[in-house]
Structure 1
Amino acid sequence: MTENLIRRRALRIEQNPNIPLYVFTLQAGEVDVVADVARISRDEAGKLLGYQRPEKKQHVKQILDYLDGENVLFPNGLILALPSSVRFKGSRGPNSTDGLATIGTIEIPLPDSPESPRPALIVDGQQRSLALARTKRSKLPVTVAGFVAEDLEVQRDQFLRVNTVSPLPTNLVSELLPEVNTKLPTRLSARKLPSTLVNALNQDSDSPFRGLIKQASTTGDRKSEAVVKDNSLISAIEESLSPSGVLFPYKNLSNGTTDAAAMRDILVIYWTAVRDTFPEAWGLAPAKSRLMHGVGIRSMGRLMDRIMDRVLGVAENGSKDAYEKAMAELALVKPYCHWTKGRWPELNIPWNELQNTPRHISTLSNLLIRIYLQSRMSAS
């Protein structure tokens, strides 16, 4: 290692002509100098930053104990996103390439000071990298695969794809998906639209959920206010996007387009009406309000399909009229709801014993829909 530069023998892999890919080695003590971890967070404007989950201290300790033990073999490599400032010089001679890879030398510029940003970001192997930075075997050679991409979208795309054996936290995947525009596997692609809508509900100023949804990027000082788990809302939206849901007509199956803006507006109208129908139960921790609990979000989400289907069929003057009609429809079920105290007599269960289980979600949602339909028939 020379001043402000690491030079290593490397292979350039002929895989993607637009994204250079290299395989080389770093010493354990060099990893922390070259690469940083892009932690997931949001800036003051709500823009998503980074993509990595928090450090798992026990996992790091286990790796470190192994590295500091006897007879170390560490084939588990790292995947880095390298800056465009890296330089690769292929070796001369007829045997420098076999058509799959080219032998040469890679040069990685180093920061001018410890406070300066490191040139690379870790896409896979952050727990290993943390252990490598702390091991007493600072000279241990470590295998590295590095691709040149400063675009966060490319990095996030690769991050989601490589973390499949040990599944990523659901809320981390959900928050990253809207930021990835490349073609995704079917399983991830199906979750992208619901995740995008939940992000909007948590960020938009006119949303009743603004700041109330707990996501992977929710920081410590905001966690006490974020009382709704994003996966509950995502699941509710996924159900509403099914053929029987109120959001389904806004998906154009013939050309694969969706009217996400219209979907967002429906969600904002309905849940604003829910908030204003049950103000005493809104915004509280799930332990104090089952409306904010997964069982309440999922059940009220199923009721949304019934209510908003009727509201959208009769509303005439835009969102204000739709909101007022949603309020009128919710008033039909309000007297029968027990979100913060009492019992649900029809279910023979205290309010705070409802749980976020398939059985309770199904039982409560069926009750709410039955009450709504019976009340609607009586009111007609």
Structure 2
Amino acid sequence: MRRPEPAVILRRAIRIEQHPKHPLYLFTLTASELLRIADVSRVSRDPAGALLGYQRPEVKKHVRNIAEYLNGDQVLFPNSIILALSSDAVFKQVRGPKVDPGIAEAGTLHIPLPKPGHPKPAWIVDGQQRALALAQCKRQDFPVPVNAFVADEVDLQRDQFLRVNNTKPLPRGLITELLPEVSTLLPSNLAVRKAPAALCDLLNRDPESPFKGLIRRSSQDEATRSSAVVTDTAVVKMLQDSLSSPSGSLFPYRNIASGETDFAAVRKLLLLFWTAVRDVFPEAWGKPSTRSRLMHGAGICAMGRLMDKVMGSIDIHGTKAPQLVRAELTRIKPLCHWTDGHWEEMGLDWNEVQNTPQHLRLLSNVLLRAYLNNRRTLS
């Protein structure tokens, strides 16, 4: 008679108390056990638009390469998988004298196996490609080193995911989606990008935003991504430049000392300017960058620099603000070639403009000089 499978995995483990609420465990799992207890938390959005998960999509070639190595004759696999364990996992300390000054405790970790239709008790924070490769390799009894911390909160899992991958080449779009959802103190290089990332998300979801549904995000399904025409990295760069430069139109709404941003005022300014852009250039708005360089990275960033100049003289709370912004943008419309023609001063056809520092400087310079010269002529 076949014995029923145990309801838990029992594993010798070391517990390290780094955080009073989130103990850290060091132990091993076999390749077959890893994905039995751990899920990959893919980044996506629910029907209400709230962000779910945090992991990038599977990189099939990378997974295949790791699996081929694991199928070799002599395999050394020291890279540990980092898991976030649910609080359902129980640690039982072994009795006996301690051999260190309380730095770590030995014991047995009880990890419950999930029942059919129920969530797994762990999530992979770092090592998803390695975990998928282990699931595909021939040797399913291969022992895998695991570091795990107890955390039911997705917020903490995202925080650790960003920190672990801070020096790795994570897709920039994925980082910009995750940053607004992390509430803990971030490294300085990530903290300065949090406000632009949050504003990018606002522009893509706000019903009054001309960008609504047009910004491509890592969490979108294929159908939604196909209708999105602007990369989130271009929008984030435009916002970050304006927020961080003293000459930026968004700079006055950011408190550098406290790190706080007046999002209500920033939202009003952004909607005023970019709604006017859409209205003044309707033939170029909402098209793929292959058909409109206005929606291209170079176009978004160059218009962002023009925004800094135009909005400096506009009272965003004034009743005539929308008409004034449209009037200012109309000044440059005759020289713009977003969808056809030739940019005379740059010596480039409309579709030759690329998202490079040189072309961005050229395009920004052309727009700003044309705007300032037109104002001088009329004044």
TM-score, length of structure 1 as denominator length: 0.96
Partner of 2:16: 13
* Inter-partner Cα distance in structure 1 for 2:141 and 2:203: 49
Work out the number of aligned pairs and report it: 375
Task: Report the AA paired with residue 191 of structure 1.
Answer: R
Mean Cα deviation higher: 329-338 or 1-10: 1-10
Task: Report the AA paired with residue 40 of structure 1.
Answer: V
* Inter-partner Cα distance in structure 2 for 1:263 and 1:13: 44
Task: Report the AA paired with residue 216 of structure 2.
Answer: K
Matching residue within 68, 76, 81 for 1:78: 81
* Inter-partner Cα distance in structure 2 for 1:2 and 1:65: 30
Query: What are the residue-to-residue correspondences of 1:132-143 with 2, within 5 Å?
Result: 132-143=134-145
* Inter-partner Cα distance in structure 2 for 1:256 and 1:78: 34
Mean Cα deviation higher: 77-86 or 159-168: 159-168
1:87 aligns with 2:86: no
CA contact (8 A) 2:81 2:126 kept: yes
Query: What are the residue-to-residue correspondences of 1:180-199 with 2, within 5 Å?
Result: 180-199=182-201
Query: What are the residue-to-residue correspondences of 1:176-255 with 2, within 5 Å?
Result: 176-241=178-243, 242-255=245-258
Query: What are the residue-to-residue correspondences of 1:1-380 with 2, within 5 Å?
Result: 2-95=5-98, 98-113=101-116, 115-241=117-243, 242-312=245-315, 316-317=318-319, 321-380=320-379
* Inter-partner Cα distance in structure 1 for 2:257 and 2:190: 21
Task: Report the AA paired with residue 213 of structure 1.
Answer: I
CA contact (8 A) 2:217 2:225 kept: no
CA contact (8 A) 1:97 1:103 kept: no
| SS in structure 1 of the partner of residue 315 of structure 2 | helix
Task: Report the AA paired with residue 178 of structure 2.
Answer: L
* Inter-partner Cα distance in structure 1 for 2:264 and 2:25: 42
Q: C-alpha displacement at 1:376, in angstroms?
A: 1.1
Deviations 1:167-216 (A, max 9, x none): 21111111100001111111001111111100100111111001100111
Q: What is the percentage of aligned positions where both structures have the same residue?
A: 54
| SS in structure 1 of the partner of residue 145 of structure 2 | strand
Instruction: Name structure 1 gaps, 5 residues minimum.
Output: none
* Inter-partner Cα distance in structure 2 for 1:263 and 1:60: 43
* Inter-partner Cα distance in structure 1 for 2:258 and 2:215: 32
CA contact (8 A) 2:38 2:123 kept: yes
Q: C-alpha displacement at 1:257, in angstroms?
A: 2.2
* Inter-partner Cα distance in structure 2 for 1:29 and 1:52: 21
Task: Report the AA paired with residue 340 of structure 2.
Answer: K
* Inter-partner Cα distance in structure 2 for 1:9 and 1:361: 57
Runs of 4+ in structure 1 off by over 6 angstroms are none
Task: Report the AA paired with residue 87 of structure 2.
Answer: S
TM-score, length of structure 2 as denominator length: 0.96
CA contact (8 A) 1:90 1:96 kept: no
* Inter-partner Cα distance in structure 1 for 2:257 and 2:220: 37
Task: Report the AA paired with residue 338 of structure 1.
Answer: H
* Inter-partner Cα distance in structure 2 for 1:361 and 1:48: 32
Task: Report the AA paired with residue 190 of structure 1.
Answer: V
* Inter-partner Cα distance in structure 1 for 2:103 and 2:52: 35
Q: C-alpha displacement at 1:34, in angstroms?
A: 0.5
* Inter-partner Cα distance in structure 1 for 2:69 and 2:141: 15
Task: Report the AA paired with residue 224 of structure 2.
Answer: R
* Inter-partner Cα distance in structure 1 for 2:92 and 2:342: 74
CA contact (8 A) 1:96 1:102 kept: no
Task: Report the AA paired with residue 25 of structure 1.
Answer: T
CA contact (8 A) 1:96 1:103 kept: no
